[in-house]
Structure 1
Amino acid sequence: MTDYPKSLPEFQQRFPDDEACASWLFDLRWPNGFECPGCGHDKCWTLSCRSWTYECKGCRRQTSIRAGTLMHASNLPLTIWFWAAYLMATHSNGFSAVQLQKQLGLGSYRTAWLLLGKLRAAMIDPDRNPLSGLVEVDETSIRQRTGNGPVGVGRSHEGKLMIAGAVEIKGQGAKTHPGRLRLAVIADYTSETLHDFVATEIATGSSIKTDGLASYNNAPNMDHDRNVVGDQLAHLVLPWIHRVFSNFKAWALGVYHGLRAKHLQSYLDEFVFRFNRRRYRHAGLKTLLNLVTKRQPMTYKMLIGAEQSA
């Protein structure tokens, strides 16, 4: 399959219509040729009576290019899906549902919100590798957006959303730079919660660097570089994760005017997806659409339910 488009003009030339989008999706979904999701047979007929639908020569099951993916039962043209994925993957700040509705001429805010929600659901690869090597780990909180605007001031966690973060550190000395990032919603700053975050997101045998919070002590299967902040500024001890937190908070306020608890993890996932592809944004389009084809279908009620249970 040809490589991903590396510019907006190339994107427009590559995907002028639904037919071009369907052809690209076919190669993403079946890179080795058609494989029936029912019986695994590799031969099919292309049906002329249904757009981009294939009938297995083995079991006669019919499968459309959208079936069994996040695009399942969607009435939106494939070009709209591709434009939304392109904007989400390549734009440095992403788009709110209001912005996307205006940019793509969508009929309703709900349609734009559902489209973005499904794309965010695809931004986490279930097979991704954990962070490794030297990793800065810290936690922060952000003000929670409510109907009356952001709340929560001072050091109390009341009215705030708590987040744990970890970022790989590459290079040495004054030439260090951040590698991959992980962010997750947490309920508290206890040892049980933070140890679980470390164990989930960081490979066994890695070295974690923290600000000395006692909750990180004895993190299982990790070398722990404990740096008690004391009178030092925390961003001097853990510069890269603090820069990530600062950028995330500015992004959340600038694009979404604050975040609510029930949506927080999906927005964290969006930020992480874009951060981890900051040096090759256009490649993110191929990654995102590939993950869209691998995720199970989600309805509006399912997406709302997932958010409400978060």
Structure 2
Amino acid sequence: MEKPSDLQNPLFTDEDAAWAHYETLRWPDGVVCPKCGSVGNATRLANKTTRRTRKLKDGTTKEAEWTRRGVHKCKDCGSQFTATVGTIFEDSHIPMHKWLMAVHLVCASKKGMSAAQLHRMLGFGSYRTAWFMLHRIREAMAERGSLPPLGGAGSSGIVEADETYHGKVENPTEYTTKGEKFRRSKAGKGPSNKRAIVALIERGGKARVFHVATANRESVERIVRENVDKSARLHTDESRLYPRVGHEFAAHERVKHSRGEYARGDVHTNTAEGFFGVFKRGMTGVYQHCDEKYLHRYLSEYEFRFNTRTKLGVNDKERATLALKGAAGKRLTLRPTQNA
């Protein structure tokens, strides 16, 4: 069995080694020009040191220095570029070895790592640097493009569907999608307008998790239809959101929690509930606060770790490699005009 990644590995301490590693992941078949698309026809330029003086909020100035590494010049179109162009790392002055360390730490932490802790461990100048860095990493973890339906051929054929609600009633500054403050339900069992989350989990396979404005029948049925193979067995609890759409699949089997039934043979939703358990412990114990407009990014993080868990044969090093490969083709700037 492969040993866990050593935190003293040169990838996490040496900038040149870190750049060489990322270039290998980004360009496995040779350097690719992002402008004209030519492959293996670029010249590496010498590293260049740059100095810049910044004015801080307190009126003082600070001189910053960094070395621009990994610059290539395309022989076909003449453009200059690095392996970070068109990725979450573009325009970042954070050293690449710290990026690799951050990705490894986040991927190796089952319930996540807070920006405050990352700030302390990597020695950043500000908390916001670590906070923005984590959001970029979550963007790299998010799956994009067309995905095959869950529960199809080659799988267990069972898909669990469940929903949960996230938020804090006690905090008056917390709001729902509609801009309303959280309120308690008539039954007194918690807020009636928390942030709704729907999860579809293939038994023994992967998960897909969605934040929806309202978990009603229409929104849940649309998610199930678009993401579950018609040949699958759908497992749910007694929720009234699933009976109608359940008829569209090979079988719809339910467990009756109100009667103390949590499993009947292989019929249960324990995998989905286990996923929600890890998510909630992480959100309350690690992150503590999450603005609703960023909730989908946190869900992408927990979904990614679940889909690359040890039981599926993925270790910490491989999980970090997958996250780094997912950085390509994604940018995240969080400008004020951007709808995050």
Shift in alpha-carbon separation, 1:16–1:230, aligned structure 2, 3 A: closer
Q: What TM-score, normalized to structure 2?
A: 0.78
1:162 aligns to 2:162 (yes or no): no
Q: Secondary structure at the match of 1:37?
A: coil
8 A Cα contact 1:205 1:221, kept in partner? no
* Aligned pairs (5 A) from 1:96-135: 96-127=114-145, 128-132=147-151, 133-135=157-159
- State the distance in 2 between where 1:278 and 1:11 align: 24
* Aligned pairs (5 A) from 1:12-161: 12-42=9-39, 43-50=41-48, 51-127=69-145, 128-132=147-151, 133-144=157-168, 147-148=171-172, 152-153=183-184, 154-155=188-189, 157-161=191-195
Q: 2:319 aligns with which of 279, 284, 293?
A: 284
Larger relative CO (CA 8 A, sep 6+): 1 or 2? 1
Shift in alpha-carbon separation, 1:152–1:259, aligned structure 2, 3 A: farther
Count of residue pairs brought into register by the alignment: 293
8 A Cα contact 2:11 2:21, kept in partner? no
- State the distance in 1 between where 2:272 and 2:47 align: 54
Q: 2:329 aligns with which of 283, 286, 294?
A: 294
- State the distance in 2 between where 1:73 and 1:146 align: 39
8 A Cα contact 1:144 1:261, kept in partner? no
Residue 265 of structure 1 aligns with an amino acid whose one-letter code is H
- Residues 68-87 of structure 1: CA deviation (Å, up to 9, x unaligned): 21111111110111111011
8 A Cα contact 2:159 2:203, kept in partner? yes
User: Per-residue deviation at 1:230?
Assistant: 6.5
8 A Cα contact 1:217 1:224, kept in partner? no
Shift in alpha-carbon separation, 1:53–1:129, aligned structure 2, 3 A: farther
8 A Cα contact 1:211 1:228, kept in partner? yes
Residue 242 of structure 1 aligns with an amino acid whose one-letter code is E
- Residues 254-307 of structure 1: CA deviation (Å, up to 9, x unaligned): 101243322211111111111222202321110111111331x221316x8433
Number of the residue aligned with 2:303: 272
Q: What TM-score, normalized to structure 1?
A: 0.84
8 A Cα contact 1:144 1:260, kept in partner? no
CA RMSD of aligned residues (A): 2.6
Structure 2 gaps, min length 5: 49-68, 152-156, 175-181
User: Per-residue deviation at 1:93?
Assistant: 2.2
- More helix per residue: 1
